[in-house]
Amino acid sequence: MTIVGNYIGGQHVASASGRTAPVFNPATGAQSKEVALSTADETRAAIATAQEAFKTWSKVTPLNRARIMFKFKELVEANADELAELITSEHGKVFSDAKGELTRGLEVVEFACGIPHLQKGEHSLNVGRGVDSYSQMMPMGVCAGISPFNFPAMVPMWMFPVAIACGNTFVMKPSEKDPSTTMRLAELLTEAGLPDGVFNIVNGDKESVDVLLTDEAVQAVSFVGSTPIAEYIYSTASAHGKRVQALGGAKNHMIVMPDAEPSQVISSLMGAAYGSAGERCMAISVAVCVGDAVADHLIKDMTAEIEKMSVGNGMTSPEPHMGPLVSRVHADKVLSYIDSGVEEGATLVVDGRNFKVVDHDNGYFVGPTLFDNVKKGMRIYEEEIFGPVLSVVRVNSYEEALQLINDHEYGNGTAIFTRDGDTARNFCENVQVGMVGVNVPIPVPMAFHSFGGWKRSLFGPLHMHGPDGVRFYTRMKTITARWPTGLSAGPEFSMPTMK
C-alpha cells in the first residue's frame, strides 16, 4: 500500500519512523493509503532545510517571488480536476465543493501575487534635518503551519502563499486524515520554480507538531483545528517565544427575523447547514428563530427541502448534494450527538441516523438532521458537532437572540436575515463574533480581507490572510538615516529629539 511520506528540500522523502496512520475513502470506507507519522528528528531535518533555504529565499526580490506565485496559480488551475478528485477521495466532500475549496485557496495565491505592493512598508522624508525614516516589513524566517482535515487545500493555502511571498520559508504539517492534496500542491510549487527547501511538508501527529512548536528556528506558527488543540498550540508555541495564530472551533448562529424573505432564508440555510456535510468551520449549526410563527414555517419548509436532498459518493454523477463524513470515528461521534439531543429533550424533526447509501454500505454517511426546540445547556447546543445537524432555537425577541450568540463560548461566524436596516446595523455593531453576514449565510471574507473569529474561536491577535496575514508573516524594521554625513552634529547626551 502507498505510504505518503514527507516533502523536504523539493523532493519526496520516505519516513523511517515505522509509524503510520491509515487514509480512507470516506464514501466507501476502503483504506486507500497510509500516511507516515514522522519522528521528531525528521521534523527537525525539515526545519533545518527550511532554515538553510531562508538564507537565499529572503534575498529574492518581491517581484520574483510574486512571479513564482503567478506560475503556481496557473499550475493549480491546470490541475484543478485532479486536485479536487484527491480532496473528494480522502475528505468525502462532493467534487464541485472540492473545486470551490480550491478556488477559495487560489484567491489567497492571487492576493499573494500582489506582494511587491503589500510589502512596501512606510517612508518619511526629513523627519529631522537631512534625516529620513523608513519601516521595512522583513520576513520572519522559518514559519510552520498545522492544518485540519476539513479543507486540505484551502486552509494550507490560507497560510503558505502569504508566508512564502513575504520571503519566509515554511514547514507544513497537514491533517493525517487527508494528506495527499497538500503533497500535490508541494510538487506544483516546485514545478512553478520555487527553490528547494522553501516549502516543506512533514506528515505526522503530536510528535512532529511538538517539534514545530518548540524548535528554536521556527519563528511563527499558524494553526487551524479544534479549540482544545488550538489552545494547546497557542500556549506551547507562545511559551517558546513564537508568534502564533491558532484558529479553533465554532458554533455559528443565524438569526431569522420575522421580516426576513422566507425563500432566501431556506435556500441559504440548506447550503450553510448541510453543505460539505456540515464539516465547515463557517457552517450554520444553529438557526435562531424570532417568534414561534417564524420557527414553525422554517421547520415545515426545511423538512420539505431536506426530503429533496441527495446524499452519496461525491464523485458520482449526477452529483449528490452532500457526501459522507470524514471518518468512521467522526460519523459515530455525530450520531452520538443526535442520540444526546433526543435524550436531552430536543424535538428530532428529521433523523439522519441509520442512513444508507446504495452500494456504499461501509461509507461514513449520516443523513441531514433537524432538531427543533433546542435549548441552552443541551450538549447539541453548547458543543461543536461538525456534522449535518441543524438545531432550531426559538426566542421571543431580537435582543434575546443577540444575547444567546454573545453568551456562547465560540465567536467564529454568524448571520442575520432581515429586511430591516436598523436591526442589521445594530447586530453588526453589537454581536461578539469575528465574521458577520447580513442576508449572507456564510460570510467568509475574501482573500484581501482577513479571516478569523473571536472568543474561543481564535487564539492570538492576528487573523489569517489579507492585511493581517502580511502583518503576521513579517516583522517591522525601522531605519533612521542621516545624509549627507556633513550634517552630522556633535554628541548628544540628552534624549535625542529631531531639530
Residue numbers annotated as active site:
281
CA distance 78 to 298: 42
What does the radius of gyration of the chain's CA atoms come to, in whole angstroms?
Answer: 25
For residue 358, count other CB atoms closer than 10 A to its CB.
7
Minimal CB distance residue for ligand NAD: 225
Least distance CB 104 / ligand NAD (angstroms): 12
Considering the complex, state which of residue 139 and residue 324 has its C-beta at the smaller distance from ligand NAD.
324
| Residue 456 beta carbon to ligand NAD: minimum distance, rounded to whole angstroms | 10
Which is nearer to ligand NAD, 150 or 369 (by Cβ)? 150
Task: Give the residue carrying C-alpha cell 506528515.
Answer: 203
* Identity of residue 309: M
Q: Which lies closer to ligand NAD via its Cβ, residue 152 or residue 341?
A: 152
Contact 105, 157 (CB under 8 A): yes
CB-wise, 187 or 207, nearer to ligand NAD? 207
Which grid coordinates are listed for 260? 426576513
Q: How far is the CB of 143 from ligand NAD (least distance, A)?
A: 16
Residue 6 or residue 457: which is nearer to ligand NAD going by CB?
457
Total residues found in the chain within this entry: 499
CA 225 – CA 106 distance, rounded (Å): 21
Closest contact distance (angstroms) between CB of 364 and ligand NAD is 14
A 10 A CB-CB count for 39 gives 19
- From residue 246, alpha-carbon distances to 166, 177, 231, 458 in Å are 20, 20, 7, 6
Report the chain's terminal Cα–Cα distance, integer Å: 73
Phi-psi region of 144 (alpha: psi -120 to 50; beta: other; left: phi over 0): beta
- Distance separating alpha carbons of residues 271 and 411, to the nearest angstrom: 20
**Rounded Cα distance, 336 and 339, in Å:** 5
Cell numbers given for 41:
528528528
Summarize as ranges the residues that interact with ligand NAD (CB under 6 A).
Answer: 146-151, 155, 173, 175-176, 205-206, 209, 224-226, 229, 247-250, 281, 384, 386, 412, 453, 457
Q: Residue 108's closest CA among 169, 60, 65, 158?
A: 158
Strand order in the sheet with 30-36: 3-4, 30-36, 20-25
**β-pair type (3-4, 30-36):** parallel
Cα 453 to its chain centre, rounded Å, is 11
Those residues with Cβ within 8 angstroms of residue 184's Cβ, 6 or more apart along the chain or in another chain? 79, 82, 83, 86
Residue nearer to ligand NAD on the CB measure, 147 or 450 = 147
Closest contact distance (angstroms) between CB of 329 and ligand NAD is 10
Measured from the CB atom, the residue of 337 and 386 that comes closer to ligand NAD is 386
CB of 230 to ligand NAD, least distance (A): 7
Q: Which helix (H) or strand (E) holds 285?
A: strand 284-290
Q: CA 437, CA 487: separation in Å to the nearest integer?
A: 57
Q: How far is the CB of 93 from ligand NAD (least distance, A)?
A: 13
What is the distance between the alpha carbons of residues 203 and 22, in angstroms, rounded to a whole number? Answer: 12
Residue whose C-alpha is closest to residue 139's, from 479, 475, 483, 495: 475
DSSP state of 133: E
CB of 499 to ligand NAD, least distance (A): 50
And the C-alpha cell for 314? 461525491
Query: Is the Cβ of residue 190 or residue 276 nearer to ligand NAD in the bound state?
Result: 276
Q: How far is the CB of 405 from ligand NAD (least distance, A)?
A: 16
Closer Cβ to ligand NAD, 205 or 301, answer by number: 205
